Amino acid sequence: MKPTTLLTHLLTTTAASAATLPRALHPTHPRDAPQYRLLHTFSSSAPSSSNAHLLSATNTESTKGGAILTLPSSSSSSNNNTSSARITSVQTTFRIPHAQPPATGPTANNPVGVYAASFWVGIDAAGAAASSSCSGGGAALRAGVDIFWDGTVGGEQTPFAWYQFATAAAAAGQQGQQGSGTGFGQDGFAVAAGDVVRFTLSAGGTGGADGEQVVAVVLAENFGANVSHADVVGRSASGGGGAKPVRSVKQVVTAPAGLCGQQAAWVVEDFPLEGRPDVPVAFANFTSVTFDGAGVALADGSKKGVTEAAVLDVRLQAQGGKLTSCEVVDGQEVKCTRVVGGN
């Protein structure tokens, strides 16, 4: 059976035939509910900024929506990842959406279905954009939040915050290679739907144990549900921006090789479930999400917005075609609205 046929078959099964589904999908009691996790795989390629106008008009299958900013190759040194054009940090703020089943399309309103979506920001993490010849070696870093809806255990489940650092082989999608890091240590990083979170990823640094280089730092901050984006990024009417996080966690990555710093991404993605790598999970309805304060800092101290970023959408024919409508707003926001179908 083709993967697309399998996906449609599994996700349009009705409650009457729920007994034919794998046992893990419908536990007999909420206490037996599986802890779903998404398999954060890497694509083998990514779009360049120059073809942004083509992406919205294509029907090419894609699990990613959002915006990808790639530095021009002429601005960076192929053998020196300390170039002034190198990305040293990327940051974004967004409110974690609620997960719901879509109202229309092949995967709509399955009462025993499992739905999910992932929202993340990354450096060199959206595909093979970074040059493998740079001294960073083509590694990748990203962090974000996954949301879940499981009809068999009452609907919306607790979101899961995560980070991932991958070697060059893993970032290139080579078989058997995986990125390290699935959560934020033993204590984790608690989040809930409706919370405003901010992720800051930094590339490079010094001070690693045993002489290892600090190649990346992830700072995750949760500001709770009773703040706005403007309170966090500093665009409130009162000139604020002094909102304090209710919790935060920092993850330091040490490795022999680091990041090239050629690409930044703000992405909505439909990953597969762990243990089911062949097809993406049914994409949850999240209404919309806005990555605010999107932009990068460069090694020369300058900053760059997302005006030149390539915009792309999730497109999966087995789930109804076009599943997001993404855009860049005012050069500092990436907004993705959940849709089903259309151009």
Q: Is residue 17 part of a domain?
A: no
Mean pLDDT of the chain: 78
- At 230 the pLDDT is 84
The lowest-confidence range among 174-178, 188-192, 325-329 is: 174-178
- Find tokens 């599943």 and name the residue: 323
Q: Is residue 43 part of a domain?
A: no
- Judge if pTM exceeds 0.85: no
Q: Is residue 226 part of a domain?
A: yes
Q: Band of the pLDDT at 134, cuts 50, 70, 90? A: low
Query: 144: Cβ–Cβ under 8 A, 6 or more apart, which residues?
Result: 118, 119, 120, 121, 161, 162, 199, 267
Check the CA dihedral 12-16-17-23 and report its sign.
positive
- At 205 the pLDDT is 60
Q: Is residue 137 part of a domain?
A: yes
Amino acid occupying residue 270: D
Q: Is residue 176 part of a domain?
A: yes
Q: How far is CA 288 from CA 205, 224, 255, 296, in A?
A: 35, 18, 36, 23
**Per residue in 6-41, pLDDT tens?**
343 334 433 333 322 222 333 333 445 567 889 988
**Per residue in 192-247, pLDDT tens?**
999 999 999 998 765 445 555 778 899 999 999 999 888 888 755 544 467 899 99
Q: What is the CATH number of the domain that holds 195?
A: 2.60.120.1270
SS3 at position 186: coil
Q: Is residue 228 part of a domain?
A: yes
SS3 at position 280: coil
Q: How many domains does the chain have?
A: 1
SS3 at position 216: strand
Q: Is residue 37 part of a domain?
A: no
What does the block give as tokens for 249? 């966690």
Q: Is residue 324 part of a domain?
A: yes
**Size of the chain in residues:** 343
Answer yes or no: are the C-beta atoms of 304 and 321 closer than 8 Å: no
Is the pLDDT at 76 greater than 50? The verdict is no
Task: Report the pLDDT averaged over residues 156-183.
Answer: 75
Using the CB atoms, write b or e for 57-86: b if 16+ within 10 Å.
Answer: eeeeebbbbbbbbbbeeeebeeeebebebb
Q: Which domain holds residue 117?
A: 64-72+85-236+243-342
